[in-house]
Structure 1
Amino acid sequence: MNLSRMLAQREAAGDPVKVGIIGCGKFGAMYLSQARLTTGIHVVGIADLNVAGARETLTHIGWEAERFAARSFDDAEKHRSTFITDDSTSLIQDGGLDVLIEATGDPAAGIRHCLMAISHGLHVVMVNVEADVVAGPLLARRAELAGTVYSLAWGDQPALIAEHVDWARACGFKVVSAGKGTRYLPSFHQSTPDTVWDHFGWDLEVVKRGRLNPKMFNSFIDGTKSGIEMSAVCNATGLTPQPDGLAFPPCSRFDLAEVCKPTENGGTLTHSGTTEVVSSLHRDGTEVEGHLQYGTFVVIEGETDYARYCFEEYHMLPDSSFRFASLYRPTHMIGLELGVSVASAALRGEPTGSPVAFNSDVVATAKRDLAAGEVLDGEGGFCVWGKQTAARTSLDEGYLPLGLAQNVKMKRSVAIGERLKWADVEIDSDDDAVKVRREMEAMFAAPNS
């Protein structure tokens, strides 16, 4: 509990942590709004393809004009200001950074930026969880070999869930399940950017004020982001997905231990040691009272009678048998909390979650009947959603990773609900992201049993 003190020491020494960020969208804007208020942090540079848009965003979130008036990285260093550029390569190579934040949301770009940053000795905070589930295990291994940190992003749910799991294990508890809440109905798998706000139930004024991207937010409502985030959790903690992926059972924050335990114990899970996402909606569309739509959780097992007595005595949100109990965080603050990852990487040399295995994958699944010749539009779009799938199953069946289902043409027709395969699309084998993915598969995939 001393990151702020360590940052203050860096500030007093005139040596603040030097940070660069690629991508000035919603997550990036949330981080930057707090970075200007954080002692011991200097945002040296921001890379975004839309420089004018990045400048306007900084003004919108409260940055004074002089804070981003630097005309070069040297000028930024000299005047403790920020240089905005459309050249991400220059930011990585010439920015004099300690930590790079990758927040583009583009898997191919994220992989490219991460590998470049590692080769230049930078710590990487991977906000781009899409890139993490395509090749995170390999990226983390590369960083480890280079003596740098590859970290999931604190404030985003995967890192918070990984912390829950770490807490439980450090206390000697068996982890039964871990996950988050969301707003879910089965029909949402067919959601598109045209229908997303109806499914969220948000007033359009909130959408406008927040400058919310319908394609990005559609990935939250159609089930894709849940699959991505739970795959990141599995790969960072060693948990394993359920055979058919996430079931999204309706559940309140007070019933987590009752619902998110194995079926053999009266719950809904196929096995212990897995991930699940609970819905804030009953299947009839009515709201679950005391839901956990924006929160995270872990369910633990008391393996002794004494622990179970304690679950009961201290009202530790137990199930009806007092064998299982839960811990939850009611909400997450997304980019507003990202400074924890930056400080942890730079000052402790520790990630706030990092892949240790390739246990889970996210597979492109047809939202509607797809015809040969159609070009897929990727995450949150009109064509596919991402289904959590065991990595071994994904490899054995030749399923197409969701992160590579962007701007690729269908070679055959596929029915709604069917998981796409590599053979179903025209893949450029020379594409860097494809090469890295294939290398990651070869490195981490266990042999067939």
Structure 2
Amino acid sequence: MNLGLLLSQHGPAVVRYALSGAGGGFGRTLLAQTLLIDALHPSVLCDVDPEKVHALCLELGYDADDLVICRTADELTRTDARKIAIVPGADLLDPERFDILVEGTGSPAHGYRMARAALTAGRHVAMVSKEVDSVTGVELARVAAAHDVVYTPADGDQPANLLALISWVRTLGLEIVAVGKSGEYDVVLDGDEIRYLDTTVPAGDLPGLMTLGDDIGQTLLKRAETVKSLKLRAAADPCEMSVVTTHGGFVPDVEPLHYPLTRISELADVYSLREDGGILGKPGVVDVFTVLRRPDEASFAGGVFAVVRTGDAGTWKLLEGKGHVVSKDGKYACLYLPYHVMGVETAISLLSAVRLGVGSGVENPRQNAVMAGRARTDLPAGTVLTMGGHHHEIDGVDPVMLAIEDAPDDTAPFYLAAHATLARDVKAGELVTFADLADADAGLVDAWTNGLRA
């Protein structure tokens, strides 16, 4: 498909976007890429630290004369609409100045309110904040439809990239067994050491476990033992996959997700059904794996995959000979995109939404699964479920994923519980419920409840 041709035939010559959370890492990648795309203009940049955003724009090469910090509505009104307005708060996100909002704060409550306000004002929304989407995505899609605008996950992050891959695979008529992504960082076997980010541990038995052998489950268990001291799981992973369940209809196979330590060439064997030697108890699941590789091997780079059932044996034997990942028994194949380059590719979502009225997800998403939280330790009443860190973890709470039909009715979504205070004790191993929360954000509660009814 010629995307350039398709996206240039409709809509405004220049798509104006507003960006919330503009001072973050994603904001940098989108703003840098925008300088290379004549069809995009960053008309409003919102961040609690406008000076930081101003400095970032100058560093990237924006003209100082085009940047105006506006702290009040009056200052914004007096600023030429052709300039780039940098504002400190959501109340200054004037919908008259943009065609689409790119929401990138990562704050469930603030992000939801900004997105809803934009949609009700007749503006499209590209959602980068998976934390917002995991709680309110279904409701925001409903609001968008009611106002004849687009609400979409943003290309460049794994949910939208995986949904695009799923759409492509389904259009080709292939039956999907599993979809998912790799974790953000790889386990690298380097001689007699294992490297993971800036941590190094002894390799132990891992050098002898670099092939799956005949018993895949046992090999994966032994690999997991060699890296048990490393924290390979992050809340961002099930959060991203929960967005995919909303649009793709997939559900988790197990609530903590499998997270197998796996080489890329093994994915078709690992994500086969148990009766065929793999790890899956059922087809149609979503999961996350950790890449295992040597230093001279390419990374999956947080990319996305779909494991499919093969059809004609001769076709897939031919494809296997060309280097495609096919299971040993020839029943499964893995198709994958080994990248997610953040704001570098978000322009596709922005142009598609504004010019074509098309998003990355399905027209009528529904809540097929819930990303919830289980207490890791006993949590006494009065505990504030503080969210923080690069991956937005909640202290003392482990993220889990459950199919909606398997989740108790009062299960609280993980990022709805974030920052709330516990009204009562929660024992280790218990799911956090709505009844456990003394001060859950009312807007998020309403959005989640409305989404369940959709």
CA distance in 1, matches of 2:96, 2:166: 38
Residue 270 (1) aligns with residue 272 (2): no
User: Corresponding residue for 1:190?
Assistant: none
Taking structure 1 as reference, are residues 421 and 84 closer, same or farther at Cα in structure 2, changes over 3 Å only?
Answer: same
Identify the match of residue 423 of structure 2 among 411, 415, 420: 411
| Distance apart, 1:153 and its partner CA | 0.9
Residue 393 (1) aligns with residue 381 (2): no
CA distance in 2, matches of 1:373, 1:311: 58
User: Corresponding residue for 2:65?
Assistant: 66
CA distance in 2, matches of 1:431, 1:199: 40
User: Corresponding residue for 1:88?
Assistant: 90
CA distance in 2, matches of 1:300, 1:307: 14
The answer to whether the 8 A contact 1:108-1:433 is kept is: yes
CA distance in 2, matches of 1:413, 1:184: 35
CA distance in 1, matches of 2:113, 2:309: 41
CA distance in 2, matches of 1:409, 1:6: 49
Identify the match of residue 329 of structure 2 among 293, 298, 321: 321
Identify the match of residue 437 of structure 2 among 425, 429, 434: 425
Q: Which runs of 5+ in 2 are unaligned?
A: 187-194, 201-230
Taking structure 1 as reference, are residues 353 and 201 closer, same or farther at Cα in structure 2, changes over 3 Å only?
Answer: farther
State the secondary structure of the residue aligned to 2:359. Answer: coil
User: Corresponding residue for 1:334?
Assistant: 342
TM-score (norm 2): 0.81
The answer to whether the 8 A contact 1:92-1:120 is kept is: no
After superposition, give the CA deviation of every residue in 1:130-184 in whole Å (9 maximum; x if it has no partner).
Answer: 1111021121122123211111010101111111111111111001111111168
Taking structure 1 as reference, are residues 74 and 312 closer, same or farther at Cα in structure 2, changes over 3 Å only?
Answer: same
The answer to whether the 8 A contact 1:73-1:94 is kept is: no
Residue 440 (1) aligns with residue 442 (2): no
| Distance apart, 1:328 and its partner CA | 1.6
State the secondary structure of the residue aligned to 2:241. Answer: helix
| Distance apart, 1:375 and its partner CA | 0.9
Residue 161 (1) aligns with residue 162 (2): yes
User: Corresponding residue for 1:352?
Assistant: 360
CA distance in 1, matches of 2:17, 2:329: 49
Taking structure 1 as reference, are residues 231 and 40 closer, same or farther at Cα in structure 2, changes over 3 Å only?
Answer: same
Identify the match of residue 396 of structure 2 among 383, 394, 399: 383
Taking structure 1 as reference, are residues 400 and 175 closer, same or farther at Cα in structure 2, changes over 3 Å only?
Answer: same
The answer to whether the 8 A contact 1:48-1:86 is kept is: yes
The answer to whether the 8 A contact 1:280-1:288 is kept is: no
The answer to whether the 8 A contact 1:92-1:116 is kept is: no
Residue 16 (1) aligns with residue 7 (2): no
Q: Which moved more, 1:412-421 or 1:340-349?
A: 412-421
| Distance apart, 1:388 and its partner CA | 1.6
Count, aligned residues? 407
| Distance apart, 1:298 and its partner CA | 1.0
Instruction: Give 2:27's aligned amino acid.
Output: G
State the secondary structure of the residue aligned to 1:104. Answer: coil
CA distance in 1, matches of 2:17, 2:126: 10
Instruction: Give 1:339's aligned amino acid.
Output: A
The answer to whether the 8 A contact 2:384-2:421 is kept is: yes
Taking structure 1 as reference, are residues 8 and 305 closer, same or farther at Cα in structure 2, changes over 3 Å only?
Answer: closer
The answer to whether the 8 A contact 2:19-2:44 is kept is: yes
CA distance in 1, matches of 2:60, 2:351: 22
Q: Which has the higher helix share?
A: 1
TM-score (norm 1): 0.82
State the secondary structure of the residue aligned to 1:426. Answer: coil
Taking structure 1 as reference, are residues 47 and 232 closer, same or farther at Cα in structure 2, changes over 3 Å only?
Answer: same
Q: Which has the higher strand share?
A: 2
Residue pairs, 1:48-197, within 5 angstroms: 48-69=47-68, 78=81, 80-95=82-97, 97-182=98-183
Q: Which moved more, 1:137-146 or 1:310-319?
A: 310-319
User: Corresponding residue for 1:216?
Assistant: none
The answer to whether the 8 A contact 1:370-1:413 is kept is: yes
CA distance in 2, matches of 1:243, 1:180: 16
User: Corresponding residue for 2:241?
Assistant: 230
CA distance in 1, matches of 2:427, 2:315: 50
| Distance apart, 1:35 and its partner CA | 1.2
